[in-house]
Structure 1
Amino acid sequence: MQSSEARRSRKALAALVGFVARAPAECQAVELASRTGQLCLLRENGTERKTNIRIFRVALAQGLILAEKQADGLLSCSATTEGRSALKRWLADPDSAFQDQHRTLTTRPDPDHGHVSVNLAESPLAALARIKGRGGDLFLEPSQVEAGERLRSDFTRGQMQPSLGQSWEPVRAGRQPGSAGGAAELTDAAMAARERVDTALAQVGPELSGVLVDVCCFLKGLSEVERERQWPARSAKLMLRTALAALARHYAVPRRNSTRQPAPPPHAP
């Protein structure tokens, strides 16, 4: 019985450390003051996770996480070096249950690869997909979420990374000739993925493609996007929705064409 309890505690610790290791999260200091109950951790992109206060205290005591009080009274929580090392050891455990504690996998259809697995815990679109407007309609349509994840999948397969010290933009999709990891070293699948990304972003246009790359590919929070691009507050969410709508239309065109029935042969005279 004790071994089972220790196992559950270790899983809960792995889930907590894994959540704040991917991106810092905030919580209410007053919640931590309670001896029992749940603590709600919230990331900048809206992703949240609830954890047992006792587990949170254990993680603090063992130096796995760091909680720093901010000017607004909230606690900013992040993983320490010791926490990341412990998480790496837990993930190396052959029992996959430890890995499942810090990821939420789902399968989405992908016209280019059949089906792909998506970690909802890492995707900013997962949080936005749950938001509803005043009329009760979803803020993002399922086709828009699917389009964003499809772009992210191709971006990852194409090994597209930003240049150091610079923001990635569509025109910077390929590396410079002769550089490490250049086109000559890419597989055919990676090159095809890059071409799909370039085509999709070109169809969306330069005004909207940047926010797609920031949120869908680099997993940036909306506030971070607004700060880096010097946009007004709450504008990134609307820009992203517009960009995803254009991206979904682009991806829908080949599917409509592929299902079109061939024209009947002409009648013989």
Structure 2
Amino acid sequence: MREDGAARQRQMVRLVRLVAGGATLIRDGGDGATVLVGRAGEAGRPVARALPDAACALGLLVRSGDTLRATPQARAFLRRALLSAETQFQDQHRDIEQQNRPVEGLRQSVRVNLAESPLAAMARLKEKSGVLFLDAVALDAGLRLHADFTRGQLQPQLTMRYEPRLAGKSKGAGGVADLCDSAVAARGRVRAAVEAIGPELSGVALDICCFEKGLETVERERQWPVRSAKLMLRAALMALARHYAPPPTRARRTAWGDDGFRPDRTAAVTRRPAAGR
């Protein structure tokens, strides 16, 4: 039944494309089961006899006698159908999963390609005990760093820029004068995050979360031992998570020996009871 529905959908798309492309005449196919749709003077293409009526019922076509005409809804229908077909083809080479991710400060349900980012692939790694190697807090910290890095337009540009440049702007691509306020703010957040992680761990966080290098590539470039990059990355993301969500601070109690502490001598001196009492 599912295959019959998919075949009927393909036939509907073909019919709507024919009519939208100028095939407006419909004639009897001669076999009782099909009709011919084509331009004047052409043989036409056979389609199921009930298909034009179904397209008209959906509001995709309008029929007047032997003439068919596409409605404005037909173009939107074709765009959705072609986009769905392209997505299905691309999904054959992807590892798609529906996840809740932070988007512009709010968590939303999005489709994530786990085969695209090394950080997404690491989200499925587990310890020998079965516990996830990266917890949700550390993973969200890495994704937030990547989002700010992208929003700040810090990726290396490998293609030529063809847009016209106005006089008075700073020279070179990616100048601060060319950025909007949100991109400048994102660059500031990336700078603060790198400082919070520290110089020892910030490099591996940028390589994997932002430049999306694989663990093996990072270990080879930095001449690290095998399976050490993921340990360094986890330490970096834990520090980054504390930067994004600092732990609550407890009220500090004054103790003896602290700078500025002076005991109240009057409270320490006990008065002797008066004689005769």
Instruction: Provide the residue aligned with 1:133 in structure 2.
Output: 127
Instruction: Provide the residue aligned with 2:88 in structure 1.
Output: 98
Work out whether 1:205 is the aligned partner of 2:198.
Answer: yes
Contact 1:108–1:118 (8 Å) recurs in 2: no
String of CA shifts for 1:167-210, please: whole Å, max 9, x gaps. xxxxxxxxxx6322210000100011110011001110111011
Work out whether 1:240 is the aligned partner of 2:233.
Answer: yes
- When Rg is computed on C-alpha atoms for both structures, the one with the higher figure is 2
TM-score normalized by the length of structure 2: 0.51
Aligned counterparts of 1:158 and 1:105: Cα–Cα separation in 2: 26
Instruction: Provide the residue aligned with 1:142 in structure 2.
Output: 136
Aligned counterparts of 2:245 and 2:112: Cα–Cα separation in 1: 23
Task: Give 1:243 shift.
Answer: 0.5
| Aligned-residue identity in percent | 51
Instruction: Provide the residue aligned with 2:106 in structure 1.
Output: 114
The equivalent position to 1:250 in structure 2, one of 243, 259, 265, is 243
Report how many residues are paired: 163
Change (3 A) 1:118 1:204: farther
Task: Give 1:215 shift.
Answer: 0.6
Counterpart amino acid of 2:171? G
Task: Give 1:127 shift.
Answer: 2.1
Counterpart amino acid of 1:119? V
Task: Give 1:95 shift.
Answer: 2.3
Work out whether 1:193 is the aligned partner of 2:186.
Answer: yes
Higher helix share: 1
String of CA shifts for 1:72-125, please: whole Å, max 9, x gaps. xxxxxxxxxxxxxxxxxxx99332743772444533135x53236573422222
Aligned counterparts of 2:198 and 2:157: Cα–Cα separation in 1: 21
Q: Which runs of 5+ in 1 are unaligned?
A: 8-90, 165-176, 258-269
Change (3 A) 1:143 1:223: same
Contact 1:106–1:120 (8 Å) recurs in 2: no
Counterpart amino acid of 2:152? G
Q: CA RMSD, aligned part only? A: 3.4
Q: Which runs of 5+ in 2 are unaligned?
A: 10-79, 159-169, 250-277
Counterpart amino acid of 2:226? A
Alignment of 1:1-269 (within 5 A): 1=3, 4=6, 93-95=82-84, 97-98=87-88, 101=91, 102=94, 103-109=96-102, 113-115=105-107, 117=110, 119-121=112-114, 122-162=116-156, 178-253=171-246
Instruction: Provide the residue aligned with 2:45 in structure 1.
Output: none
Query: Higher relative CO (CA 8 A, sep ≥ 6), structure 1 or 2?
Result: 1
Contact 2:123–2:134 (8 Å) recurs in 1: yes
String of CA shifts for 1:217-249, please: whole Å, max 9, x gaps. 111110000111111111101101111110111
Aligned counterparts of 2:186 and 2:89: Cα–Cα separation in 1: 28
Change (3 A) 1:134 1:231: same
Aligned counterparts of 2:138 and 2:171: Cα–Cα separation in 1: 37
Aligned counterparts of 2:177 and 2:191: Cα–Cα separation in 1: 18
